[in-house]
């Protein structure tokens, strides 16, 4: 248990941590989010109750890096030991809205980090209007704080990184691989690729002798 707790978070259920990442870091992450869209490696929003069709979503493993690095900072802000549950990154586009909702149990503690945009867009938390600037985070009790973006977005892009934690490890989202699980998968893929590449370098073919 941490010794310090943010007053706003304790009373209101949310707080804004200004410049939780530097502007340079936000720029780099925003550039990555736009590049992933341009490369066709993101998924357009499902157009359901929460996920607007005016968005692109991804869970690229590179976003694990700020997730891990920011966990102790968020712990210090809220005064509680937390465990990474899952993350995702979303770029909202022209026409997007976000209806009122609370998050599921795997998002007990959440952070919405603004990476960059070409137009401002307010978020409402428990009827209070909040305007995030680049690098700022809204840290909130995801399962308790009602949040939304009722105004239609009028810019071309609004990039956010969503980080979610739990206080009970049993509630971690099991559908999202941990860094250790991802490492096992990609290490095997690397070894398969490397073995094939080395064979090509030695023999000029990917086939083993006798194939």
pLDDT digits (tens, 9 = 90+) for 101-125: 999 999 999 999 999 999 999 999 9
Q: What's the pLDDT score for residue 3?
A: 46
pLDDT (0 to 100) of residue 207: 56
Strand order of the β-sheet with 83-92 is 14-17, 137-141, 109-117, 158-166, 83-92, 55-58, 43-44
pLDDT of residue 1: 44
DSSP SS3 for 101: strand
Length of the chain measured in residues = 211
Q: What is the pLDDT of residue 95?
A: 96
Contact 114, 160 (CB under 8 A): yes
Sheet holding 128-130, edge to edge: 98-101, 147-149, 123-125, 128-130
Separation between Cα atoms, residue 184 and residue 38, nearest integer Å? 28
Cβ distance 164 to 99 under 8 Å?
no
CA distance 170 to 184: 22
- pLDDT score for 173: 85
pLDDT at 117: 98
Backbone angles phi, psi at 107, to 5 degrees: -115, 40
- Residue 82: beta bridge partners? none
Residues of the chain predicted below pLDDT 70: 1-5, 205-211
* Angle CA 65–175–20, to nearest 5: 30
What string of H, E and C letters represents the secondary structure of 42-98? CEECCCCCCCCCCEEEECCHHHHHHHHHHHHHHHHHHCCCCEEEEEEEEEECCCCCE
Neighbours of 31 (CB within 10 A): 13
| pTM (predicted TM-score) | 0.87
Collapse the DSSP code of 127 into the 3-class scheme (helix H, G, I; strand E, B; otherwise coil) and give the result. coil
């Amino acid at each position: 248990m941490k010794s310090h707790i943010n007053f706003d978070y304790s009373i209101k259920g949310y707080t804004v941590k200004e410049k939780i990442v530097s502007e340079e870091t936000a720029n780099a992450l925003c550039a990555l989010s736009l590049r992933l869209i341009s490369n066709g490696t993101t998924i357009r929003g499902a157009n359901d109750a929460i996920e607007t069709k005016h968005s692109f979503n991804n869970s690229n493993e590179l976003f694990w890096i700020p997730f891990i690095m920011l966990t102790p900072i968020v712990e210090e802000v809220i005064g509680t030991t937390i465990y990474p549950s899952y993350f995702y990154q979303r770029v909202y586009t022209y026409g997007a809205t976000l209806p009122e909702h609370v998050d599921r149990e795997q998002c007990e503690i959440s952070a919405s980090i603004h990476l960059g945009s070409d137009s401002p867009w307010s978020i409402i938390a428990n009827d209070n209007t909040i305007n995030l600037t680049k690098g700022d985070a809204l840290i909130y009790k995801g399962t308790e704080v009602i949040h939304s973006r009722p105004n239609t977005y009028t810019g071309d892009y609004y990039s956010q990184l969503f980080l979610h934690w739990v206080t009970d490890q049993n509630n971690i989202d099991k559908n999202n691989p941990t860094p250790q699980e991802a490492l096992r998968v990609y290490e095997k893929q690397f070894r398969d690729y490397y073995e094939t590449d080395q064979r090509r370098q030695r023999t000029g073919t990917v086939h083993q002798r006798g194939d």
